[in-house]
Amino acid sequence: MKVPVRKQPSWFQVLLILPGVAALVVTFLFPLLWLARTSIQPTTGHTLSLHAYARLFEDSFYWWVIGRTIFIGLLCVVITVPMAFPVALFLARSQSRWRGTLTALAIAPLLTSTVIRTYGWMVILGRHGLINTTLVWAGILAQPTRLDNGPFATVVALVEILLPYGIISILSHLSRLDTELEQAASLLGARRLQVFWRVLLPLSVPGLMTASLLVFVLAISSLVTPQLMGGGRVFVLATEIFNQTTIALDWPFAGALSITLLGFFGIFVALYQRILQRVESQS
């Protein structure tokens, strides 16, 4: 017999939420449905067809693109997460009075433009950029080489761009962990490294997994960085989608590519949830 103390009239709540629902339907839900609809639109006639998907999966080039996309995504995860972990650990356990500032400094790049940060990497890796100049000056290279386009440059820039996401998701997990667990481990005789391996790392796994998923998903759907730094040599699903929509103007095919990307996205989210459940029910 629970009686809500104050129940506002329900029409009022509908009125409150209606603009939001309408906005999301128009700008989010409908575009996605329309995208799916377009991907099965025939070039001629009126019946629906899967020819765009057939073309996609029959062409070995697109299999290669898909493989390439996933490879770059995984590479970004493998580099970004191990870099984000120490920073998050440092920020979560630091007693320094600079902790707040350092945390903000690690997250703030997330709110600056990807285009600008990619541009920064073009300056660093470019033919006359920081790295080349330094290497030539040090006598390691006789001639500057092109570092600023291709898969290497793309991955370097992506890692830097995605690092704040990794830091923030690991940090939010770590700050929920009780520091007494580490103290208990030390008192029981564990050295610093043992505390790390036996307590901190196992307890961080869910945070590391969330970070991995986030980085992976953002990496495989990033467009600006592979487009600018790929030098036309990095073919991933995102750049392919862009080319098909803006250059080839084959919208059904672009739609099919997008839905495929979304499909991989879904598969990895599902996989993540399965593994996370496993991890949490283990031990």
Binding residues for other proteins restricted to 29-88, rule: CB under 8 A: 30-32, 34-35, 38, 83, 86-87
Non-local (6+) Cβ contacts of 194 within 8 A are 185
* 271 makes contact with other proteins (CB under 8 A): no
Site for other proteins in 113-172 (CB under 8 A): 113-124, 126, 128-130, 133, 157, 160, 163-164, 168-169, 171-172
Give the nearer residue to other proteins in terms of CB position, either 60 or 144.
Answer: 144
* 262 makes contact with other proteins (CB under 8 A): yes
* 215 makes contact with other proteins (CB under 8 A): no
Write the CA distances from 198 to 56, 74, 204, 210, integer angstroms: 47, 26, 11, 20
* 202 makes contact with other proteins (CB under 8 A): yes
| Contact range with other proteins by CB under 8 A, out of 42-50, 51-59, 70-78, 217-225 | 217-225
Give the nearer residue to other proteins in terms of CB position, either 8 or 60.
Answer: 8
Which two tokens mark 90?
């440092």
* Residue 142: φ, ψ to 5°: -80, -40
* 194 makes contact with other proteins (CB under 8 A): yes
Write the CA distances from 22 to 8, 18, 27, 37, 147, integer angstroms: 22, 6, 8, 20, 47
* 199 makes contact with other proteins (CB under 8 A): yes
Closest CB 40 distance from other proteins, rounded Å = 13
Non-local (6+) Cβ contacts of 233 within 8 A are 149, 150, 151
Burial class (CB in 10 A: 0-12, 13-18, 19+), 120: middle
* 226 makes contact with other proteins (CB under 8 A): no
Count of residues that bind other proteins according to CB under 8 A: 105
* 278 makes contact with other proteins (CB under 8 A): no
Closest CB 122 distance from other proteins, rounded Å = 7
Rounded Cα distance, 141 and 161, in Å: 28
| Contact range with other proteins by CB under 8 A, out of 49-57, 65-73, 250-258, 270-278 | 250-258
| Contact range with other proteins by CB under 8 A, out of 43-51, 54-62, 68-76, 108-116 | 108-116
Closest to 229 in 3D by CA, of 141, 145, 146, 111:
146
Rounded Cα distance, 253 and 270, in Å: 25
Which two tokens mark 93?
């356990």
Closest CB 16 distance from other proteins, rounded Å = 4
Position among 78, 110, 141, 276 found at the interface with other proteins (CB under 8 A): 110
Rounded Cα distance, 243 and 230, in Å: 14
